[in-house]
């Protein structure tokens, strides 16, 4: 494995150049005159509002996203097709919101009466003032326009060759490829990472997947057996933004940013005030590492089955401590307001948190009611004793440095199966359901630990957020995970509706994600209190139905996190106008759940309604 | 119109002014030539030229000898109204003076003369053409022994050995049908009228009651006969598609938001095996299996064309669920199969209106009914006029569960006179109940048929074809 710092630049250039040389040569090969060229595109503009906000006090701007997309395809003959697709996306929310949308921020150091469980909040559309009582914020301006050419603008550039009888093909370029049978929650659909920045999992599947430079080879081994080989030389990880109030690393993803995690000492249940976090993405170096995959597809048991294997990298990170900074002069982690910013290496940071008499001990003694003035561990650095401010000293805080580490391997095998259950005919029109089954076994999936051994006191444990303060060896472990989908699709005809024009298409999916030795693992760091269930279960339900001769399409999607009792629902009402060139749409999204109770609950303050207009040509 | 099709048209127009090669006994060709001279319309002249050649005469004669009749000979035995002859134009001004019209012209077309919904200016009667299928199909049918087929308790076509008749034999069954089931199988055997079909492209317009375009889909459609192939390689049965009679594939090219949507449907001979139906959905970038039991949904939003109505009627024969009743022999006015040269519907550029006078010819047909016994199918009854020469439908009427006419299907085939192969030129699927229509225009890609491969019917290959 190669990480961003471990290979010579020249190696990257070679591999990238070779890939692009192949691409360019491929584009030169089809010399036939272009008699089959197509181009099209769309302009989508939306405006909306977020309601059910954190502070319940405002009802201002909501998702105001836009997309400009241009596509072109050229098929000079039946053996060659070239596709280009470029899109520019953005969200005017950050400009329109005037700083009103709030997200949870650091633990509030002024609220010992709440056991420091009260939190500051932050603006997600304007930078922080760094002035009490409302110091935090981040403008999110970088999300107004997603305009990095290779990473964000270029959606597809590919060329595909096939042999004369169409039994073998190779596709080279930047594109996405979907695997598996599951919708929404990924089991085998892992070839491409996901862009969760704009509408999290509620966006269309093809808009979430992040395309990657890829070579895909497809061959029919026999009439009923085909093999697909995938080589991805550019490793991409999922894109998301944590709403981070920490002044020296403030970031905002707006309502669809991941909320800043609660910082909780797990044994006492007390909040951990005066702590911030600076996040650094650690990823494998582009073009210096690769992902490979294969899929064997065949007919079996009256249906279609696949065997899949993937050897690549995780799309979501584990969190690894890399050090810290002590800010002497600021309670709110503001380095510019500090008289000294003292860098701490990993051992020192671990000591400052876990060593006897240090931060965790202090929090626990507060919880136990045994803390006394003078116990505050930062007093030796000239810091003010928060139990005795009158004694003088500087306000102090600590920013921990973490890597969001995407370099862990993902090794998965699995199979999928789908079948028209024609033996089972249901409803007034005797329509059969279609079953979808998918199972994946991931080996050695990396998790952050929710509980680690106390580095200083053998036999003692550190739980919750302090478990993130350790070496990678201490804080990260690996488990096998088995994910299963059982899904049904059905065309619903209503018995009382004699002349129903078209069916209501419904899908139901049940997911079970089993993790071996699940105890004391974080579901996703840095959410330290969200644990991995032995069997994490989800249920999803969709429906699609056309009204008024399909000029109005209703489209609903519900997701239940059964293990965490959280819920999300998206309702779309799409209209067709001007010969379907103009598509007005109303979209409502609702999230419900307890704080940090699973992925869906992360957006519990992000309910939205959006009206959009799409013009396509 | 594609450039090569335009060239063909112009060539035929030029040929139409060249000296005649007609021989005695080919009155139907002479009728067309004199008719074309009367109207002076280039498309009529082009059609007359297209059928005025030795290949057409020879193939027509072989089919006539085998069948023992032609459309003309059957019509000559009937007493037809005096006005019902080539050149007469039915209009809203004269229709009330034609008391016989309801006996020959479907009510749908009568209404078009007076309605604001999909109106037409008139119906011009053109000469009756002698249609036929390919020589290979004729030869295969001739080779069949006496009583080669039976229909079993499920309604399946079986040969004398109990094998599926569509798999084991290439010949047409029941060319003189004695009942509705036999006629239904003869209709089924027409298939798409050729071994391979390639639409490059088909335009499907969803039109509302104000004749305005709501949506328009452009697509490729492919079709392959997987058993009993007689004219295009691989001959016989296609390896790897055992048990399958036909395969259809659809690749939508526009509008943009559904571009790349690809569907493949395989039809098994066994009545108990539902179609293998797969769809690649661009918004998922993934293939989904769909149930073969649900062909009653429109192919795409807004369309009146359901999956069961590919090639006018493609829902599976099953006598346990449907009753097939031969009603009568019937003479009707129907759209001529002249699509190889021109579109007799004359669909306007707006894709929804018919721009002028449409052409129809007098056709001898069998009329049969398909009655739903399950009380669950979208149509309680389908009434099908099957042409006595093409063995394909000339007009379909579909009745809803309240007993009212819901939809009709009428089309024009792109029939290649020199070979007897059929594709399509245009069609109207009208929802009479709600006054909506799907208007279809097709460019049949005769020059690309040789490029078709079995891989088109593999959804993983088809999805990347765009």
* Mean pLDDT score of chain A: 92
In a domain, A359, yes or no: no
pLDDT at residue B20 in the model: 44
Output the CA angle B426-B310-B384, nearest 5 degrees.
80
The count of other CB atoms within 10 Å of the CB of residue A10 is 7
Distance (Å) from the alpha carbon of A567 to chain B's nearest alpha carbon = 22
pLDDT at residue B39 in the model: 97
Cβ pair A162:B455 closer than 8 A: yes
Which residues on B lie below 8 Å from A177 (Cβ)? 285
Instruction: Report the residue from B256, B294, B460 with minimal CB separation from A41.
Output: B256
Map residue B287 onto helix, strand or coil: strand
In a domain, B146, yes or no: yes
pLDDT at residue A53 in the model: 83
pLDDT at residue B325 in the model: 98
Give percent of chain B above pLDDT 90.
Answer: 86
Instruction: Report the residue from A228, A436, A579 with minimal CB separation from B215.
Output: A579
Cβ pair A166:B215 closer than 8 A: no
pLDDT at residue A58 in the model: 60
In a domain, B154, yes or no: yes
In a domain, B170, yes or no: yes
In a domain, B173, yes or no: yes
Output the CA angle A191-A599-A408, nearest 5 degrees.
45
Domain containing A445 equals 9-320+405-616
Which pTM value belongs to this model?
Answer: 0.91
Q: What is the pLDDT of residues B354-375, one digit of tens each?
A: 988 999 999 999 999 999 999 8
Distance (Å) from the alpha carbon of A236 to chain B's nearest alpha carbon = 18
Which residues on A lie below 8 Å from B283 (Cβ)? 204-206
Greater confidence (B377 vs B127) lies with B127
* Mean pLDDT score of chain B: 93
Whole-number CA gyration radius for chain A:
26
Which residues on B lie below 8 Å from A434 (Cβ)? 288-291
Backbone angles phi, psi at A541, to 5 degrees: -140, 130
Instruction: Report the residue from B240, B254, B278 with minimal CB separation from A40.
Output: B254
- State the average pLDDT over residues A145-173: 95
Would you place residue B25 in the very low, low, confident or very high pLDDT band (cuts 50, 70, 90)?
Answer: low
Distance (Å) from the alpha carbon of A177 to chain B's nearest alpha carbon = 6
Cβ-Cβ contacts under 8 Å for B118 (sequence gap 6 or more): B112, B207, B211, B352, B353, B354, B428, B430, B437
List beta partners, residue B329.
Answer: B366
Backbone angles phi, psi at A206, to 5 degrees: -70, -15
Which residues on B lie below 8 Å from A189 (Cβ)? 286
Which residues on B lie below 8 Å from A504 (Cβ)? none
Distance (Å) from the alpha carbon of B229 to chain A's nearest alpha carbon = 18
Distance (Å) from the alpha carbon of B293 to chain A's nearest alpha carbon = 5
Domain containing B153 equals 135-177
Closest-CA residue of B relative to A158 is: B464
pLDDT at residue A287 in the model: 83
Give percent of chain A above pLDDT 90.
Answer: 86
Cβ pair A205:B292 closer than 8 A: no
Residue B15 in this model has a pLDDT that exceeds 90 = no
Which residues on A lie below 8 Å from B376 (Cβ)? 428-430
* DSSP, residue by residue, A309-320: EEEEE-SS-EEE
- State the average pLDDT over residues A152-157: 97
Instruction: Report the residue from A179, A499, A549 with minimal CB separation from B401.
Output: A499
Q: What is the pLDDT of residues A206-221, one digit of tens each?
A: 999 999 999 999 999 9
- State the average pLDDT over residues B43-50: 98
For residues B96 and A612, what is the distance between their CA atoms, to the nearest angstrom? 52
Q: What is the pLDDT of residues B110-154, one digit of tens each?
A: 999 999 999 999 999 999 999 999 999 999 999 998 999 999 999
Which residues on A lie below 8 Å from B290 (Cβ)? 420, 434, 489
* DSSP, residue by residue, B379-412: -SEEEEEEETTT-SEEEEEEE-TTSSEEEEEEEE
Quick one: DSSP state of residue B257?
Answer: G
Would you place residue A19 in the very low, low, confident or very high pLDDT band (cuts 50, 70, 90)?
Answer: low
To probe the interface with B, which of A502, A507, A615 has the most B CB atoms within 10 Å?
A: A502
Closest residue by Cα to residue B192 from B458, B444, B365: B444
Task: Label each residue of B60-97 as H, E or C.
Answer: HHHHHHHHCCCHHHHHHCCCCCCCCCCCCEECCCCHHH
pLDDT at residue A286 in the model: 78
For residues A20 and A8, what is the distance between their CA atoms, to the nearest angstrom? 19
Tokens 């997701």 belong to which residue? A559
In a domain, A561, yes or no: yes
List beta partners, residue B449.
Answer: none
Closest residue by Cα to residue A424 from A414, A416, A415, A435: A435
- State the average pLDDT over residues A224-248: 95
Sign of the C-alpha dihedral, residues B20, B21, B26, B28? Answer: negative
**The domain that contains A240 carries what CATH number?**
2.40.160
The count of other CB atoms within 10 Å of the CB of residue B302 is 28
Q: Is ipTM strictly over 0.85?
A: yes
Quote the tokens at residue A287: 């073009």
pLDDT at residue A5 in the model: 39
Closest-CA residue of B relative to A583 is: B257
Cβ pair B302:A580 closer than 8 A: yes
Contact yes or no for B298/B306 (Cβ under 8 A): yes
pLDDT at residue B144 in the model: 96
Quote the tokens at residue A192: 């491409």
Contact yes or no for A283/A237 (Cβ under 8 A): yes
Q: What is the pLDDT of residues B246-291, one digit of tens each?
A: 999 999 999 999 999 999 999 999 999 999 999 999 888 889 898 9
For residues B139 and B134, what is the distance between their CA atoms, to the nearest angstrom? 9
Which residues on B lie below 8 Å from A165 (Cβ)? 453-455
For residues A501 and B264, what is the distance between their CA atoms, to the nearest angstrom? 23
pLDDT at residue B315 in the model: 87
Q: What is the pLDDT of residues A330-346, one digit of tens each?
A: 999 999 999 999 999 99
Q: For chain B, how many structural domains are there in total? A: 1
Closest residue by Cα to residue A550 from B384, B217, B96: B217
Instruction: Report the residue from A432, A498, A617 with minimal CB separation from B291.
Output: A432
pLDDT at residue A21 in the model: 61
What length is written for chain B?
466
For residues A239 and A281, what is the distance between their CA atoms, to the nearest angstrom? 11
pLDDT at residue B351 in the model: 96
Q: What is the pLDDT of residues A412-454, one digit of tens each?
A: 999 999 999 999 999 999 899 999 999 999 999 999 999 999 9
List beta partners, residue B200.
Answer: B220
Which residues on B lie below 8 Å from A190 (Cβ)? none
For residues B114 and A147, what is the distance between their CA atoms, to the nearest angstrom? 58
Helix, strand, coil percentages, rounded to 5, for chain A: 15, 45, 40
Closest residue by Cα to residue B392 from B137, B200, B53, B156: B137
In a domain, A178, yes or no: yes
Instruction: Report the residue from B255, B288, B289 with minimal CB separation from A616.
Output: B255
Cβ pair A431:B401 closer than 8 A: no
Which residues on A lie below 8 Å from B401 (Cβ)? 498-499
- State the average pLDDT over residues A389-403: 95
Map residue A477 onto helix, strand or coil: strand
Tokens 């009158």 belong to which residue? A390
Residue B311 in this model has a pLDDT that exceeds 50 = yes
Cβ pair B292:A432 closer than 8 A: yes
Distance (Å) from the alpha carbon of B283 to chain A's nearest alpha carbon = 5
Map residue B188 onto helix, strand or coil: helix
pLDDT at residue A54 in the model: 80
Which residues on B lie below 8 Å from A223 (Cβ)? 239-241, 454
Residue B264 vs residues A226, B250, B280, B293: alpha-carbon distances, Å: 16, 7, 9, 14
For residues A522 and B242, what is the distance between their CA atoms, to the nearest angstrom? 52
Quote the tokens at residue A80: 């060659």
Instruction: Report the residue from A183, A434, A616 with minimal CB separation from B284.
Output: A183
In a domain, A164, yes or no: yes
How would you label A570-599 residue by residue, b for 16+ Cβ within 10 Å and e otherwise?
Answer: bbbbbbbeebbbebebebbbbbbbeebbbb
Give percent of chain A above pLDDT 70.
Answer: 94
Quote the tokens at residue A513: 């994600």
pLDDT at residue B406 in the model: 96
pLDDT at residue B100 in the model: 97
pLDDT at residue A495 in the model: 87
Q: Is A548 left (phi over 0), alpha (psi -120 to 50) or beta?
A: left
**Lowest mean pLDDT across A12-26, B31-45, B417-431:** A12-26
Output the CA angle A169-A165-A179, nearest 5 degrees.
35
Cβ pair B436:A502 closer than 8 A: no
Closest-CA residue of A relative to B212 is: A579
Q: For chain A, how many structural domains are there in total? A: 1
Distance (Å) from the alpha carbon of A187 to chain B's nearest alpha carbon = 14
């Amino acid at each position: 494995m190669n990480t961003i710092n471990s290979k010579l630049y020249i190696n990257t250039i070679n591999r990238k150049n070779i890939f692009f040389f192949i691409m360019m040569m491929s584009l030169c090969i089809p010399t036939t005159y272009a008699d089959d060229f197509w181009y099209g595109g769309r302009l989508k503009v939306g405006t909306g509002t977020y309601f059910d906000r954190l502070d319940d006090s405002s009802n201002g701007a909501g998702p105001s996203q836009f997309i400009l997309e241009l596509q072109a395809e050229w098929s000079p003959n039946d053996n060659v097709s070239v596709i280009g697709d470029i899109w520019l996306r953005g969200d005017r929310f950050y400009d329109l919101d005037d700083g009103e949308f709030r997200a949870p921020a650091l633990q509030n150091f002024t609220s010992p009466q709440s056991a420091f469980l009260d939190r500051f909040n932050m603006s997600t559309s304007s930078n922080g003032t760094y002035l009490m009582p409302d110091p935090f914020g981040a403008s999110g301006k970088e999300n107004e326009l997603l305009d990095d050419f290779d990473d964000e603008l270029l959606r597809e550039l590919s060329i595909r060759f096939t042999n004369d009888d169409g039994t073998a093909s190779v596709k080279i370029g930047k594109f996405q490829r979907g695997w598996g049978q599951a919708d929404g929650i990924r089991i085998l659909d892992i070839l491409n990472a996901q862009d969760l920045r704009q509408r999290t999992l509620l966006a269309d599947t093809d808009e979430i997947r992040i395309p990657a430079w890829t070579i895909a080879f497809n061959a029919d081994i026999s009439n009923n057996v085909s093999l697909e080989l995938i080589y991805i030389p550019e490793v991409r990880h999922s894109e998301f933004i944590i709403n981070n109030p920490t002044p020296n690393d403030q970031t905002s993803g707006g309502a669809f940013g991941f909320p800043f995690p609660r910082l909780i000492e797990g044994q006492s249940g007390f909040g951990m005030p005066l702590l911030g976090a600076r996040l650094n993405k650690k990823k494998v170096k582009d073009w210096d590492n690769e992902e490979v995959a294969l899929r064997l597809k065949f007919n079996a048991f009256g249906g279609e089955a696949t065997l899949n294997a993937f050897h690549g990298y995780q799309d979501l990170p584990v969190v690894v401590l890399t050090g810290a900074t002590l800010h002497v002069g600021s309670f709110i982690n503001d380095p510019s307001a500090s008289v000294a910013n003292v860098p701490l290496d990993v051992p020192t940071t671990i000591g400052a948190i876990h060593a006897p008499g240090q931060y965790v001990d202090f929090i626990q003694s507060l919880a136990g009611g045994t803390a006394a003035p003078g116990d505050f561990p930062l007093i030796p650095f000239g810091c003010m004793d928060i139990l005795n401010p009158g004694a003088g000293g500087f306000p102090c805080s600590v920013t921990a440095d973490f890597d969001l580490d995407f370099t862990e391997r993902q090794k998965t095998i699995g199979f999928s199966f789908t079948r028209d259950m024609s033996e089972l005919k249901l409803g007034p029109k005797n329509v059969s359901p279609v079953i979808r089954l998918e199972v994946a076994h991931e080996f050695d999936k990396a998790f952050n630990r929710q509980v680690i051994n106390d580095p200083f006191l053998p036999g003692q444990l550190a739980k919750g957020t302090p478990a993130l303060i350790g070496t990678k060896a201490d804080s990260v472990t690996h488990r096998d995970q088995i994910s299963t989908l059982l899904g049904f699709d059905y065309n619903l005809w209503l018995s009382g509706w004699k002349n129903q024009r078209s069916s209501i298409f419904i899908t139901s999916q049940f997911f079970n994600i089993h993790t071996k030795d699940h105890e004391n693992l974080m579901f996703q760091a840095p959410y330290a209190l969200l644990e991995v269930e032995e069997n994490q279960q989800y249920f999803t339900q969709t429906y699609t139905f056309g009204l008024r001769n399909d000029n109005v399409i209703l489209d609903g999607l519900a997701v239940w996190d059964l293990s965490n009792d959280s819920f999300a629902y998206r309702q779309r009402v799409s209209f067709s106008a001007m010969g379907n060139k103009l598509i007005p749409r109303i979209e409502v999204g609702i999230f419900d759940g307890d704080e940090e109770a699973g992925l869906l609950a992360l957006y519990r303050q992000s309910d939205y309604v959006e009206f959009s207009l799409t013009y396509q040509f | 119109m594609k450039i090569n099709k335009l060239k063909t048209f112009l060539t035929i127009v030029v040929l139409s002014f060249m000296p005649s090669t007609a021989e005695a006994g080919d009155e139907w060709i002479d009728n067309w030539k004199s008719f074309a001279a009367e109207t002076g319309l280039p498309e009529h002249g082009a059609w007359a030229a297209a059928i005025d050649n030795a290949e057409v005469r020879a193939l027509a004669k072989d089919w006539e000898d085998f069948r023992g009749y032609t459309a003309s000979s059957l019509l000559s035995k009937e007493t037809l109204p005096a006005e019902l002859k080539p050149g007469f134009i039915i209009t809203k001004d004269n229709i009330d003076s034609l008391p016989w019209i309801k006996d020959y012209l479907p009510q749908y077309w009568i209404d078009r003369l007076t309605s604001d919904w999909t109106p037409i200016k008139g119906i011009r009667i053109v000469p009756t053409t002698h249609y036929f299928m390919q020589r290979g199909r004729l030869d295969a049918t001739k080779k069949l022994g006496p009583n080669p087929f039976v229909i079993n308790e499920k309604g399946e076509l079986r040969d004398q050995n109990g094998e599926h008749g569509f798999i084991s034999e290439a010949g047409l069954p029941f060319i003189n049908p004695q009942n509705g089931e036999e006629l239904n199988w003869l209709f089924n055997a027409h298939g798409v009228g050729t071994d391979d079909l390639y639409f490059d492209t088909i335009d499907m317009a969803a039109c509302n009651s104000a004749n305005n375009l709501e949506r328009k889909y452009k697509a490729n459609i492919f079709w392959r006969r997987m058993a009993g192939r007689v004219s295009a390689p691989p001959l016989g049965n296609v390896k790897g598609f055992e048990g399958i009679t036909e395969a259809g594939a659809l690749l939508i090219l526009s509008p943009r938001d559904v571009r790349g949507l690809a569907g493949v449907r395989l039809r098994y001979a066994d009545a108990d095996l539902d179609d293998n139906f797969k769809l690649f959905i661009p918004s998922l970038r993934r293939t989904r299996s769909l149930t073969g039991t649900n062909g009653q949904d429109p192919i795409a939003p807004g369309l009146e064309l359901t999956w069961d109505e590919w090639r006018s009627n493609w829902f599976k024969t099953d006598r346990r669920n449907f009753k097939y009743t031969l009603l009568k022999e019937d003479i009707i006015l129907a759209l001529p199969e002249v699509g190889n040269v021109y579109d007799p519907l004359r669909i306007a550029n707006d894709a929804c209106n018919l721009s002028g006078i449409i052409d129809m010819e007098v056709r001898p047909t069998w009329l049969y009914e398909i009655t739903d016994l399950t009380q669950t199918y979208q149509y309680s009854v389908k009434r099908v006029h099957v042409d006595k020469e093409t063995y394909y439908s000339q007009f379909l009427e579909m009745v809803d569960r309240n007993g009212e006419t819901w939809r009709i299907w009428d089309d024009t085939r792109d029939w290649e006179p020199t070979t007897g192969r059929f594709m399509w030129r245009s069609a109207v699927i009208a929802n009479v109940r709600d006054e909506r229509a799907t208007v279809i225009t097709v460019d049949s890609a005769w020059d690309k048929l040789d490029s078709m491969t079995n891989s088109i019917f593999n959804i993983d290959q088809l999805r990347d074809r765009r």
